[in-house]
Amino acid sequence: MFQEINGKKMAVDVFGEGEPMLLVHGLGGSSNLWRPLINEFSGQFKLIVPDLPCAARSSNDPNLSISSLATDMLALLDSLDIGQAHLVGHSMGTIVCQHMAVMAPLRITDLVLLGPVGQVPESARGPIKDRAALAREHGMESIADATATTALSADTKQSNSNAQGFVREMIIRQDPEGYALSCIALSESKQANLDSVTCPCLLITGDEDVVAPPRNVELLSGQIAKSELHILDKCGHWTPTERPKEVNALMNAFYSA
């Protein structure tokens, strides 16, 4: 279905019944990223699965920012009469989830952050803006090829080449202008005030994640009061795609604790 959220047309899928869980994808992603979690958790939770503004089926937002995304996600919950929800994010989506937890702490039950990032390192801001220019000038093919080559682990590319193809296809289908706007928003991201995040938080990254390397995620975890960190072997940045069984098992244990 499509929802009108803060003047933007947003594609939103809903699966299952139970306590609400909002799934927030990252740069180059879409609602399709979450299929392993949908299959696992739709019998336990009501899963709210949007394509973010500027991604996949949703309309572009020329004023996109991390703050606007957090505001839009809270407005989406409002539109569905959801007061409180579990949050799950991947990559850029983890930044959005952290900001949501600061903006509306009473509305967030807990956080699951996959390939988590607090903010973009200063050294990466310029290259991400360069990627926006590349998308606008030449489209998505070279970006999709590069991401599918560098952001997955060696083991994933060797033993599960369909995962590599899936990531490439998801990115190559993005609207170049929407992707560029998302790049700009990510490049200008600022870390949320994590001292005020009081809900339980599960952080999962891969040992070969070049976007959210274990050392950075350890530092991020140390800033969140109620956090636990797991590092998956032979896994790159696309954790839900590369290691779905392990991610699902860790999430089940987290929700059962």
Does residue 215 lie within any of the structural domains? yes
In a domain, residue 115? The reply is yes
| Counted domains in the chain | 1
Residue 149 included in any domain: no
Write out the residue range of the structural domain in which residue 20 sits: 2-122+191-256
Are 206 and 239 spatial neighbours (Cβ–Cβ below 8 Å)? yes
Q: Would 129 be classed as within a structural domain? A: no
Residue 212's identity, in one-letter code, is A
Q: Is residue 206 part of a domain?
A: yes
The predicted-structure confidence for 198-249, as pLDDT tens digits, reads as follows: 999 999 999 999 999 999 999 999 999 999 999 999 999 999 999 999 999 9
Name the amino acid, one letter, at 236: G
Q: Convert the pLDDT of each residue in 130-162 to its tens digit.
A: 999 999 999 999 999 999 999 999 999 999 999
Report the alpha-carbon distance of residue 46 to residue 204 in Å, rounded: 22
Q: What is the pLDDT of residue 81?
A: 97
Report the pLDDT value the prediction gives residue 1, as an integer from 0 to 100: 87
The 3 state secondary structure assigned to 204-247 is EEECCCCCCCHHHHHHHHHCCCCEEEEEECCCCCCHHHHCHHHH
Kindly state whether residue 164 falls inside one of the protein's structural domains.
no
Q: What is the pLDDT of residues 94-105, one digit of tens each?
A: 999 999 999 999
In a domain, 217, yes or no: yes
* pLDDT tens digits, one per residue of 54-108: 999 999 999 999 999 999 999 999 999 999 999 999 999 999 999 999 999 999 9
Q: What is the CATH number of the domain that holds 45?
A: 3.40.50.1820
161 to 90, 151, 228, 234, 247: CA distances (angstroms): 21, 13, 30, 14, 19
Query: Which amino acid would we find at residue 209?
Result: D
Buried b (16+ CB within 10 A) or exposed e, 129-139: bebbebbeeee
User: Is residue 113 in some structural domain?
Assistant: yes
The tokens 């604790």 sit on which residue? Answer: 257
Cβ-count burial of 1 within 10 angstroms (0-12 exposed, 13-18 middle, 19+ buried)? exposed
User: What is the Cα–Cα distance from 167 to 240, expressed in whole angstroms?
Assistant: 11
Residue type, 66: I
pTM to 2 decimals? 0.98
Residues 6+ apart with CB under 8 A from 256: none
Neighbours of 250 (CB within 10 A): 20
Helix, strand or coil, per DSSP, at residue 154: helix
Distance separating alpha carbons of residues 93 and 198, to the nearest angstrom? 19
Alpha carbon distance 119, 219 (integer Å):
12
- 167 to each of 28, 118, 170, how far by Cα in Å? 9, 23, 5
